[in-house]
Amino acid sequence: MAAPEDSLYLGFDFSTQQLKVMAIDGTLTVVHQSNVQFDSELPEFKTQGGVHIHADRLTVTSPVLMWIQALDLLLDKMKKAGFDFSLVKALSGSGQQHGSVYWSTGANHTLKHLDPEKSLGQLMQESFAVADSPVWMDSSTSPQCQYLESTLGGATTLADITGSRAYERFTGSQIAKIQQTRPDQYQNTERISLVSSFAASLFLGAYAAIDYSDGSGMNLLDIKTRCWSEVCLEATGPGLGKLLGAPQPSTTVLGCVSPHFVARHGFSEDCRVVAFTGDNPASFAGMGLREGDVALSLGTSDTVFSWIRDPRPALEGHVFCNPVDWQSYMALLCFKNGSLTRERVRNECAEGSWEVFSTALRDTPIGNHGNIGFYFDVVEITPSAVGVHRFDRHDNRVSGFSAQVEVRALLEGQFLSKRLHAERLGYRIIPGSRVLATGGASSNKDILQVLSDVFDAPVYTKDVANSACLGSAYRALHGLESVESGVPFSDVVKNAMEPKLAVTPNPRAKEVYNQTLKRYAELEDRILQET
């Protein structure tokens, strides 16, 4: 039996700007990392931030052959660094969500007969009916979104089935646009993959299934039956079910790595390929979330992941099948007004100093004397609103707060919004619930104290750089072990770097914020009606 440190597990992340890889051993220790930056290392594709923004400023694509050549480059880099591929027992990965790849007729045969004497870039030049894959930054498919929602009977019906209302970046509308505007290329397509299942297909040497979790980001999968929704397929394009193949659980071991990788790079022929998934589901796995947990990534925009068992899809946010527990779900909410808004208020109300900002939080009471603020410097995603709106304890609009009250109103408002919208999607604070905070603001304990008080839960911090890669490597290990023993993911990662307890909620906070949350929801509705 190989010692744990002699067995390696790989996690790849085909993200927007780069291709990354992380290797862990059987003790979950990271033993190797590498990456390929698309713009600088594959300049012949002339991308900016890994994409091409077209003249209409709405269409955004990435060259699929760039992703393929990046994989050739990355594996060569690893070999030059002395990485021993023969120790890899399983690999998995992730891809930017919603992007789509259109394999041309005959590509499956090419995948099954990859000459190890040649690179993937040389072998797959003619394998794609669409050279420029639409990616998640595209917003050119509003007509297709409107058609899909109206065909389904409205946004709410579509959200109830697929976990989200129609979004321009979601794959269903992107496929519909290709079919309508490039019928010859659609006709020459024998398979459609997501970026995640496209990457898995390269390693597998055959078309890989779309997994339930990343498939939830297409407006095509019924997230309760985990099958394609026939009505959504019919509203999108002819013969689409056959082109997509059947979706599979995210824990599926798809098979062994293609002979191309054995002969060309020295992989073991027994190395298993575990289904790839979306970057956010992979990050969810990398953070080691468990039922009742909610994770906040506090960055330029703030992202909220929560583990939910009973989903309540809404017109905001997204419910995806859970990548590590096929009977559960994960919710994803995006908030555009994040750190830039926090920095603006720090500059205007705290002399540009985080220390003065923290003092303001320590010197103002829980509940902020009933003052509530909404700070949408740019058009917010959740909810769709804009502008700064302030209310006093009697729900009267006011034009301003004192500097210290403004600082607390900003943070209470941002965290009340996150709790309100997460609960609307089905998140529930249960005994043992944890808030996991990552990103820049998670280093400020006074900010975390407000977060802990609003959620009435302890806040932990965890350095989750490259969480999508790490989550993919964990999933590779779990996929292999679950075949042999059915062990749950949480058992496989239980020795992973435990998050660090940062703060616990003030006992008085629960009563205050349960009341404030109701007022916040009513005032948000008022803003939405007025604007």
Ligand X SMILES: O=C(CO)[C@@H](O)[C@H](O)CF
Q: Which tokens hold the place of 471?
A: 């989550």
What is the rounded distance in angstroms from the CA atom of residue 366 to the CA atom of residue 385?
A: 26
CB of 330 to ligand X, least distance (A): 12
Is position 513 an interface residue for ligand X (rule: CB under 6 A)? Answer: no
**3-class SS shares of the chain: helix, strand, coil, % to 5:** 40, 20, 35
Strand, helix or coil for residue 360: helix
C-beta closer to ligand X: residue 72 or 279 = 279
CA quadruple 101, 103, 104, 110: dihedral sign = positive
C-beta closer to ligand X: residue 279 or 423 = 279
Is position 177 an interface residue for ligand X (rule: CB under 6 A)? Answer: no
Binding mask 218-257 for ligand X (x = CB under 6 A): ----------------------------------------
C-beta closer to ligand X: residue 141 or 280 = 280
Among 89, 169, 390, 475, binds ligand X (CB under 6 A): 169
Identify the bridge partners of residue 161 per DSSP, sorted by sequence position: none
C-beta closer to ligand X: residue 123 or 148 = 148
Is position 196 an interface residue for ligand X (rule: CB under 6 A)? Answer: no
What is the rounded distance in angstroms from the CA atom of residue 88 to the CA atom of residue 41?
A: 26
**Exposure string over 108-145, b if 16+ CB within 10 A, otherwise e:** bebbeebeeeebbbebbeebbbbebbbbbbbebbeebb
C-beta closer to ligand X: residue 38 or 374 = 38
Is position 96 an interface residue for ligand X (rule: CB under 6 A)? Answer: yes
Is position 136 an interface residue for ligand X (rule: CB under 6 A)? Answer: yes
Please state the φ and ψ torsions of residue 444, each to the nearest 5 degrees: -105, 110
- The residue count for the chain: 531
Residue listed under structure tokens 């190890």: 116
CA diameter of the chain: 75
What is the rounded distance in angstroms from the CA atom of residue 276 to the CA atom of residue 47?
A: 25
CB of 61 to ligand X, least distance (A): 14
Is position 138 an interface residue for ligand X (rule: CB under 6 A)? Answer: no
Among 12, 13, 14, 16, binds ligand X (CB under 6 A): 16
CB of 137 to ligand X, least distance (A): 8
Which of positions 305-344 make contact with ligand X (CB under 6 A)?
A: none
C-beta closer to ligand X: residue 211 or 279 = 279
What is the rounded distance in angstroms from the CA atom of residue 372 to the CA atom of residue 51?
A: 40
What is the rounded distance in angstroms from the CA atom of residue 527 to the CA atom of residue 389?
A: 8
C-beta closer to ligand X: residue 169 or 272 = 169
Query: Given the DSSP bridges, would you call strands 329-335 and 387-391 parallel, antiparallel or unpaired?
Result: unpaired
Which of positions 263-292 make contact with ligand X (CB under 6 A)?
A: 278-280
Is position 214 an interface residue for ligand X (rule: CB under 6 A)? Answer: no
Among 21, 60, 93, 98, binds ligand X (CB under 6 A): 98
CB of 39 to ligand X, least distance (A): 16
C-beta closer to ligand X: residue 98 or 260 = 98
C-beta closer to ligand X: residue 169 or 389 = 169
CB of 214 to ligand X, least distance (A): 9
Neighbours of 92 (CB within 10 A): 36
Contact 435, 419 (CB under 8 A): no
Number of chain residues interacting with ligand X (CB under 6 A)? 11
Give the binding site for ligand X (CB under 6 A).
15-16, 96-98, 136, 169, 217, 278-280
